[in-house]
Chain A
Amino acid sequence: DGGITQSPKYLFRKEGQNVTLSCEQNLNHDAMYWYRQDPGQGLRLIYYSQIVNDFQKGDIAEGYSVSREKKESFPLTVTSAQKNPTAFYLCASSIGGSAGGNTIYFGEGSWLTVV
């Protein structure tokens, strides 16, 4: 089935560690996104990529890094510089880079907890 696969579903990070969240899509979409969701808040955009080998910072990029070496993959690294990383992370994709005019498809999310 076509869709977006995020892994792992649950991840625990120790203080000072970097962790990487995986996101793979087989929808042949050009654009991919990472959002963060905190309780009582809307989804906030971390990074987005409109095409392979290109990505841009979103609203809350500090402490995060991404790569887009392949069309189907957009991994997110949460670095030790991110001081409050505990959240629900959502990967998404759309056909084109114009997010509003195209449906955004979301993965099932990854829970990251700092221990």
Chain B
Amino acid sequence: SQKIEQNSEALNIQEGKTATLTCNYTNYSPAYLQWYRQDPGRGPVFLLLIRENEKEKRKERLKVTFDTTLKQSLFHITASQPADSATYLCALRVSGGYNKLIFGAGTRLAVHP
């Protein structure tokens, strides 16, 4: 069956460290993968998009990698800050027909001072 998995356990890290979040998928051939940030009780906000032929994408303190062989994307936040605390969602765009997004359940990140 098709699955997209993110670690359901919260990730707790110290301020200044690098946070690494994982998104694994099975039985999909995504054309794109996106990462969103969601704060409690609010809508997700788009952060980064990476295409299947790209290995890495950076935006300020954010870095995303995409390994289609491992079927995995890693999302890194360097020099993390308490303001980075939120839930981070990954989403796959599946090819063929209507190109809709499939969302993971998200991983909650807590950055402690």
Residues of A in contact with B (beta carbons under 8 Å apart): 4, 35, 40-45, 48, 50, 56, 58, 88, 90, 92, 97-101, 103-109, 111
Given A42, A56, A88, A100, which contacts B106 in the complex, CB threshold below 8 Å?
A: A42
Min distance, Cβ B58 to any Cβ of chain A, angstroms: 17
Chain B residues whose CB sits within 8 angstroms of the CB of A41 once the complex forms:
105
Interface string of B19-40 (1 = CB under 8 A from A): 0000000000011101000000
Chain B residues whose CB sits within 8 angstroms of the CB of A48 once the complex forms:
98, 100
Q: What is the CA–CA distance of A20 and B67 in the complex, to the nearest angstrom?
A: 42
User: Contacts A42-B4, A109-B42; is A99 near B100 (CB within 8 Å)?
Assistant: yes
Q: How many residues of B contact A (CB 8 A)?
A: 27
Residues of B in contact with A (beta carbons under 8 Å apart): 4, 8, 30-32, 34, 41-46, 49, 89, 91-94, 98-106
- Number of interchain pairs (Cβ within 8 Å): 69
- Where chain B touches its partner, the secondary structure class is strand
Cβ–Cβ contact B99 & A90, under 8 A:
no
Q: What is the CA–CA distance of A32 and B94 in the complex, to the nearest angstrom?
A: 18
Chain B residues whose CB sits within 8 angstroms of the CB of A50 once the complex forms:
98
Min distance, Cβ B88 to any Cβ of chain A, angstroms: 12
Cβ–Cβ contact B93 & A106, under 8 A:
no
Cβ–Cβ contact B99 & A98, under 8 A:
yes
Chain B residues whose CB sits within 8 angstroms of the CB of A92 once the complex forms:
43
Cross-chain pairs A/B with CB under 8 angstroms, 15 sampled = A42-B89, A43-B44, A43-B103, A45-B101, A50-B98, A88-B41, A92-B43, A100-B34, A100-B100, A101-B93, A101-B99, A104-B101, A106-B43, A107-B43, A109-B41
Query: Taking CB as reference atom, which chain B residue is nearest A9?
Result: B41
Cβ–Cβ contact B43 & A100, under 8 A:
no
Cβ–Cβ contact B100 & A40, under 8 A:
no
Cβ–Cβ contact A90 & B43, under 8 A:
yes
User: Contacts A40-B8, A101-B32; is A108 near B42 (CB within 8 Å)?
Assistant: yes
